[in-house]
Amino acid sequence: MERESFLRDRLIPIGTVIVAIVAIWYVAVIFLNAPFERDTAARNGETITFAEIVPKTMAQERPVLPAPHQVAAELWDTTVNKAVTSKRSLVYHAWVTLSATLLGFAMGTVLGILLAIGIVHNRAMDRSLMPWVIASQTIPILAIAPMIIVVLNAIGLSGLLPKALISTYLSFFPVVVGMVKGLRSPEQIQLDLMHTYNASSAQTFWKLRWPSSMPYLFTSLKVAVAISLVGAIVGELPTGAVAGLGARLLAGSYYGQTVQIWAALFMAAGVAALLVVIVGLAHSAVLRRMGARA
């Protein structure tokens, strides 16, 4: 029963969508890569039939759009067939980006929570800080990232930390917004109860506001962890970093290595999905410990 419904409710719909996407992708590969084959044939003074073009469009070295199996092969080759310490291993590059992501995510979470606590407990902070928090996100990250990297390089900071700071810059925002809402979510009657016990604000915080905010925190964290990864990748672009998924994307686009770009993109998507899943699991584990309905 359980397995059957899992098959019917999850596997079949998701599988159908994947098959559809792959099919559309192959069609697009043929149409986008065909002009190159026609040009080559024309230059050599040959005529080429559609049936001859199709297999060629899927085996180009630098296709406009690589075929799914080319990307899959590249992914396989650069993850399984290379030592993880090798500069040509995608796992190595993913780890470089991931470490910056995790550091930035951790800093962003802590910063976001601290700001939210300040905003909730202090009227002046609520008025003065919130507009700045919102304004910070209206500046395009692509504009500010190079400046952060360059300025930090100038004072001798390079490598992990500048990238992590860009992740922090992006990820603290959803945490602040979510936590302010979460810390304010207790009902009046629940707060009144604390008042009748003459509870200190620290006690009210730890025994009421903090537990009440957990669902809001984890919802924010799911967004924050995904954009932390974006931040880390963006942070690798402006300096022409030598390692990381961003560096792979950049190098790929310099040399027209579209297969490499797509492999890096898929790796990034995979890492993001993994991170979101981990946060999701932590979310349900915490809610279960807090006695939520099964």
Partner 1 sequence: MTTKPIAMHPTDMQSLSERSIESTEMKSPAASSVVCATNLGLTFETTDGPVTALSDVNLTVEKGDFVSFIGPSGCGKTTFLRVIADLEKPTSGTITVNGMTPEQARHKRAYGYVFQAAALYPWRTIEKNIALPLEIMGYSAAEQKERVARTLDLVSLTGFGKKYPWQLSGGMQQRASIARALAFDADLLLMDEPFGALDEIVRDHLNEALLKLWAQTNKTICFVTHSIPEAVYLSTKIVVMSPRPGRVTDVIESTLPRERPLDIRETPEFLEIAHRVREGLRAGHSYDV
Q: Which is nearer to partner 1, 136 or 185 (CB)?
A: 185
Helix 258-289 / helix 68-79 crossing angle, nearest 10 deg:
70
* Nearest distance from C-beta of residue 202 to partner 1, angstroms: 10
Count of CA atoms in the C-beta half-sphere (13 A) of 100: 32
Q: Does 294 bind partner 1 (CB under 8 A)?
A: no
* Nearest distance from C-beta of residue 199 to partner 1, angstroms: 5
Residue with tokens 């469009």: 57
Distance CA 241, CA 161 (A): 13
Q: Which is nearer to partner 1, 44 or 198 (CB)?
A: 198
Dihedral of CA atoms 256, 260, 266, 272 in degrees, nearest 10, equals -90
* Nearest distance from C-beta of residue 196 to partner 1, angstroms: 5
Q: Does 290 bind partner 1 (CB under 8 A)?
A: yes
Q: Which is nearer to partner 1, 76 or 197 (CB)?
A: 197
Helices (H), 87-187: 90-121, 123-136, 141-154, 160-183
Distance CA 114, CA 241 (A): 32
Q: Which is nearer to partner 1, 9 or 192 (CB)?
A: 192
Q: Which is nearer to partner 1, 39 or 187 (CB)?
A: 187
Q: Which is nearer to partner 1, 24 or 292 (CB)?
A: 292
Distance CA 42, CA 46 (A): 6
Distance CA 244, CA 163 (A): 11
* Nearest distance from C-beta of residue 110 to partner 1, angstroms: 23
Question: CB under 8 Å to 30, separation ≥6 — which residues?
Answer: 53, 54, 57, 58
Give the pair of three-digit tokens for residue 258. Answer: 């579209």
Q: What mask of x and - would describe binding to partner 1 in positions 183 to 222, judged by CB under 8 A?
A: ----x-xx-xxxxxxxx---x---xx--x--x--------
Distance CA 273, CA 133 (A): 27
Q: Where does 224-283 show beta strands of DSSP type E?
A: none
Q: Which is nearer to partner 1, 38 or 195 (CB)?
A: 195
Distance CA 182, CA 176 (A): 10
Count of residues engaged in binding partner 1, rule: CB under 8 A: 20
The contact set with partner 1 (CB under 8 A) reads 187, 189-190, 192-199, 203, 207-208, 211, 214, 290-293
